[in-house]
Amino acid sequence: MESIRLKGIPLPVSRLCAGGCPAGEYGWGDVNRDDIQRSILRAYELGVNFFDTADTYGLGRSEENMGDTLHSVRDKVVIATKFGVRVEGGKTFYDNGPAYIETALHASLKRLKTDYIDLYQVHYLDGVTPADDMMEALLRHKKAGKILSIGLSNVTADQARLFLPYKDEIATFQNHYSLAHRQDEADMLSVADALSAAPMTWGSLGQGILTGKYDASVRFEKNDRRSRTIYDNFYGDKLQKNLSIVEAMRPIAENHGVTVASVAVRFILDHLPNSVVIAGMKNASQAEGNAQALSFALTKEETAGLEEVSR
């Protein structure tokens, strides 16, 4: 398993990270809890030791599934979660304040069945809390041993500059990136360079369009977030563009005897140095398909073709 080192984390982390959004059992169609937990265990069996979730995924359900499945191997895995998306009185808003960090952190620790979190990430900046106040609160919890390292998520290069005084403390940052979404590539590389932090990619499979499972007739039920047009990977010209990318991936997958999804993951691993790819899964088969990305390398010709079709 390919791995890298992250600031503050003793274990090397696998460059494939098991994404926990579907583990929230909400918004991804029919999801079975037993299947979710088996997928987490299967990823671990295949050598994945890095697991990413957030307190807002299923309003804590994802963290519970991670905690239930991983507590017996806790010292062998790296768990990342996020704070900052607050739900109160039926309303959702961002909150990076020290008081909320205290509340959110202890709730996550309980759900994850652990006394420390390896990587604690701000999910979104609230635009109100000063970076100094947020970081000072996080560093207090780090000093107390409740978190080992700190990460950012969904930040622009301009926002990253707020954290330059803390660059030695920022281990990672997460942003949206895939063959279907490369428009923020330059921004991501800029943040990685400025903070000396490892990029982590979410949406790495284009919310599923890059798995090769769908065609132009794709439709989703109301219990699936992708039924909304805000998930534009499945609508209009963007859908047609994505399907052309999938068609370019199919012969590559066949050539290497791997899944189409693993080709999408492999492209990112090769294209973003020292990156970690987050790939979600709803069952063990999907965990296996994602992990195939670590079993082959793209040729120069294959990489060039994918760069061209996804540009």
Q: Which domains does the chain have, with CATH numbers?
A: 11-310 (3.20.20.100)
| pLDDT, tens digit, 9 for 90 and up, residues 168-214 | 999 999 999 999 999 999 999 999 999 999 999 999 999 999 999 99
Q: How far apart are CA 80 and CA 123, in angstroms?
A: 11
Looking at the chain, the whole-number percentage of residues with pLDDT higher than 90 is: 93
In the predicted structure, residue 223 carries a pLDDT above the cut 80 = yes
- Residue-level pLDDT at 29: 87
In the predicted structure, residue 17 carries a pLDDT above the cut 90 = yes
In the predicted structure, residue 88 carries a pLDDT above the cut 90 = no
**Contact of 55 with 83, CB cutoff 8 Å:** yes
* Average pLDDT of every residue of the chain: 95
Which tokens hold the place of 288? 């296996």
Q: How far apart are CA 77 and CA 17, in angstroms?
A: 11
State the average pLDDT over residues 2-21. Answer: 97
- Map tokens 């189409």 to a residue: 260
Phi/psi-derived region of residue 213, left when phi > 0, alpha when psi is between -120 and 50, beta in every other case: alpha
| pLDDT, tens digit, 9 for 90 and up, residues 233-245 | 999 999 999 999 9
State the average pLDDT over residues 113-127. Answer: 97
Phi/psi-derived region of residue 81, left when phi > 0, alpha when psi is between -120 and 50, beta in every other case: beta
